[in-house]
Homo-oligomer: A and B are copies of this chain.
Amino acid sequence: MEFKIDGKSGGARACTIKTAHSTITTPVFMPVGTQGTVKALDANDMLSMGAKIILGNTYHLYLRPGSKLVKKFGGLHGFSKFPNSFLTDSGGFQAFSLGENSKPDENGIMFKSHIDGSKHYFTPQSVLDTQYDLGSDIMMILDDLVALPNTDERIMTSIERTTKWAKEAIEYHKEQKAKGIGTNQNIFAIIQGGTSKKYREISAKQLCALEDYDGFAIGGLSVGEPNQDMYDTVEWTTQFMPEDKPRYLMGVGTPEDLIENIERGVDMFDCVMPTRNARNGGLFTSFGKVQIKNAKYKEDPNPIDPECDCYTCQNFTRAYINHLLRAGEITYYKLASIHNLHYYLSLMKQAREAILNDNWTEFKKEFYEKRSK
């Protein structure tokens, strides 16, 4: 992976990440393609939208269709036909979100499949094996995530376990690369520590000392804590992260969350929000969020966002989108997902331009002003 910083404005950074499959400019939002496709869209839709990287979920793909099968098709790129980069998570977050259907111990996490109830044990090494098969450009290590708020003891366990696993993972990755496995694949560690300054500092320092990692993520946020706590935690944590490697804030978030965290030095984001909200009728615009099912849009001849140049806004009216949603038409999901993802990708482009022009403060002010009208 090549990484360089192209510009800064305040705390915000604009960087370039080059993987074996694409050149990614940051700040970047990675659309979520859990099961080998972004929901309601296909590889060409993502290319048309200009997506340079999408996220796949190791836990889901391991279970179905199975990573060995994906490998036979040339990894996620060959299987889904999306030629740009993939980042795959490790299953750590799924362990968290599966609740009682997962159980971590010192050496890994036991999962109970949400599909058939079968049991599977993930270790720092096994999740890399799965990701070698998936052929992702960026692999995330197995981490131990905790719900917030939580006891100091549980948070400390999470940090220690995550560091232990991170050390095992990077050693294993070096061994595998020496054998010619995963040589084009990059690996990121995940900082834990809840919303505690003390624990975040410990975790960040322990992990960032492992210099073979290609990048570092902040995990364990956006799990129910107040927004300001998330922002403060990110601001505190980034100071312990190396300047010369990508910084990825996992599972975040709203457009506002992206702006706030870009300002705090984050380069990469992912979230199900644009696609999931689209499916529920929540559409993002330059003037804030719109509930397109609302009766006031029934006869509205305007596009979802008159400022938007996405496929949906260039072709269809609010009235038509409102009708498709009310009528339960599958077509709605495609058009709404395209719009919301375009909004996120386009916001990142604008943010990058503002950073390169050292115009961040004004850009951020305008972003909020438009939404308060």
* A residues apposed to B, CB below 8 Å: 35-44, 60, 64-65, 69, 72-73, 79-81, 298-299, 301, 315-317, 319-320, 322-324, 326-327, 329-331, 333-335
Closest B residue to A331 by beta carbon equals B37
Closest B residue to A38 by beta carbon equals B331
Q: Given A72-B299, A73-B301, A298-B69, does the pair A330, B334 have CB atoms closer than 8 Å?
A: yes
Closest B residue to A81 by beta carbon equals B315
Give chain B residues whose Cβ lies under 8 Å from the Cβ of A42: 315-316, 331, 334-335
Q: Is the CB of A319 within 8 A of B65?
A: yes
Q: Given A35-B323, A319-B69, A319-B73, does the pair A330, B79 have CB atoms closer than 8 Å?
A: no
Closest B residue to A315 by beta carbon equals B81
Give chain B residues whose Cβ lies under 8 Å from the Cβ of A316: 42, 81
Give chain B residues whose Cβ lies under 8 Å from the Cβ of A319: 65, 69, 73, 79
A302 vs B147: C-alpha distance in the bound complex, in angstroms? 45
Between-chain CB contacts (< 8 Å), 6 pairs? A35-B324, A37-B329, A40-B334, A60-B327, A64-B327, A330-B330
Interface residue from B35, B38, B41, B323 paired with A64 (Cβ < 8 Å): B323
Q: Is the CB of A41 within 8 A of B331?
A: yes
A94 vs B69: C-alpha distance in the bound complex, in angstroms? 45
Q: Is the CB of B330 within 8 A of A65?
A: no
3 closest A-B pairs (Cβ-Cβ)? A40-B330, A65-B323, A35-B327
Nearest CB on B from A292, distance (A): 13
